[in-house]
Amino acid sequence: MTLATQLAETKAISPGRADRGAAERRRGLSSPAWALAPAGAAALGLALHLALPDRQPSAALRPFTGLLAAMLAGSLAMAALGRTSGRPGAWARHRSPLAAGIVLTLVAWDLLTLKLAWLPLPYFPGPDRVLGAMWEDREALALSAYHSLRLLACGYAAGAAAGLACGVLIGWSKSARYWGMPLLKVIGPIPATAYVPLAMVMFPNAFISGVALIGLAVWFPVTMLTSSGVADVPAAYLDVARTLGAGRAHLIFRVAVPAALPSVFLGLFMGLGAAFLTLIVAETLGVSSGLGWYLKWKQGYLEYAHVYAALAIMSLFFSGLMTLLFKARDRALVWQKGVIRW
């Protein structure tokens, strides 16, 4: 091998993860004090929770006591893990300040509600009552979550598929752009939720109208960003492929679409956000099932512990889906990054 290739080889080696640990030490985030902070916070919270008298009615099973105990055990395990070397250990050290913050927030919430009653009922129940509601109504909540997920998945899949197809068509074909863009400009900016009254009467049942609404909400950003990504593919890539003998299908699906992927993912992210919004609105306005519907139902009875329980589940469920999409994007776009992650 020549000198040049050897020199170039060293260039391709990227800075590793080891550097991150060093940076953290400088910032003082992985000092031993931080390693025990979550456990300390949980122990303090447990002590206060047991010692102070309740000033509000608590849930029958006192689930927050159990949660505090579980968090104490978990924090101790995390501290022990943090003493090991390797990636899990580094993860534990990196996350322990955050874990302490989470525990302290829950403890403060408990103090402000159950122990001090500074926040008024029924609007601000403590963690104890929220956990109690979650447990007590677990079947209804699980069923609602399942219904929401099913509606969201169907709507998102339909909208994303239609958006990808329309986006590629509009981005690639001039005549599709000529007719498609005005349509997109007219229909697109209207929030899908504005069609709720229409959708509820147009489709045979509530589920299908929900799918249509969510699909519409997802379709617009996906179409927009896919088409602009495809239309903006650098001409050089298409020229290279043409001189290598690429036909139209190859140019579209092997050159234009991969080159447009960063933009396509942007559309998919925006579509997911729009889908969450539309899902909840559709469920509160027409579809009589799902977390949005549950939320409105419980709010009608001033059962705010249940409302918070549903919100907590929604947050878990939506952020989980976002994370999933982020992971998919990271996989699909490894080529874009400075560092390849495994």
Partner 1 sequence: MVTAGIEAATEPSSLHLREVCKTFRRADGAEVVALDRLTLDVAEGEMIALIGPSGCGKSTLLRMIAGLDRPTSGSLRVGSQPIDGPGAERGLMFQDPSLFPWKTVRRNIETGPAARGVLRSHRGEVDEYLRLTGLEPFADSYPHQLSGGMAQRAALARALINHPKVLLLDEPLGALDQFTRMRMQDEVVRIWRARRTTTVLVTHDIDEALYMCDRIVVMTPRPGRIERVMDVTLERPRHRNDPRFLELRAEILEMLHFAGDEPAEAEGVAS
Closest approach of partner 1 to the CB of residue 17, in Å: 17
Cβ proximity to partner 1, 74 vs 258, nearer residue: 258
Nearest to 214 by CA among 261, 265, 167, 148: 148
Angle in degrees, 0-180, between the axes of helices 206-231 and 257-285, rounded to the nearest 10: 160
Cβ proximity to partner 1, 24 vs 330, nearer residue: 330
Closest approach of partner 1 to the CB of residue 35, in Å: 37
Closest approach of partner 1 to the CB of residue 260, in Å: 10
Closest approach of partner 1 to the CB of residue 218, in Å: 24
Closest approach of partner 1 to the CB of residue 280, in Å: 36
Closest approach of partner 1 to the CB of residue 169, in Å: 21
| CA separation for the pair 36, 34 (Å, rounded) | 5
Cβ proximity to partner 1, 204 vs 338, nearer residue: 338
Closest approach of partner 1 to the CB of residue 328, in Å: 15
Cα distances (Å, whole numbers) of residue 78 to 29, 74, 75, 98, 165: 15, 6, 5, 12, 47
Cβ proximity to partner 1, 30 vs 226, nearer residue: 226
Cβ proximity to partner 1, 300 vs 335, nearer residue: 335
Peptide bond into 122 cis (omega under 30): yes
In eight-state DSSP terms, residue 195 is G
Let me know if 201 is exposed, middle or buried by CB neighbors in 10 A (0-12, 13-18, 19+): exposed
Cβ proximity to partner 1, 3 vs 51, nearer residue: 3
Cβ proximity to partner 1, 258 vs 273, nearer residue: 258
Token digits for 14? 């990227």
State how far Cα 280 lies from the chain centre: 15
Whose tokens are 């878990």? That residue is 316
Binding residues for partner 1, rule: CB under 8 A, are 1-5, 7-9, 11-12, 14, 236-237, 239-247, 250, 254-255, 258-259, 261, 333-336, 338, 340
Cβ proximity to partner 1, 7 vs 18, nearer residue: 7
| CA separation for the pair 8, 54 (Å, rounded) | 68
CA atoms within 13 Å, Cβ hemisphere of 128: 24
Ramachandran quadrant class, 175 (left: phi over 0; alpha: psi -120 to 50; beta: rest): alpha
Closest approach of partner 1 to the CB of residue 258, in Å: 5
Token digits for 76? 């101790």
Cα distances (Å, whole numbers) of residue 139 to 62, 129, 147: 19, 17, 12
Closest approach of partner 1 to the CB of residue 5, in Å: 5
- The greatest distance separating any two alpha carbons of the chain, rounded to the nearest whole angstrom, comes to 80
Cβ proximity to partner 1, 261 vs 277, nearer residue: 261
Are 159 and 273 in contact by the 8 Å Cβ rule? The answer is no
| CA separation for the pair 12, 6 (Å, rounded) | 10
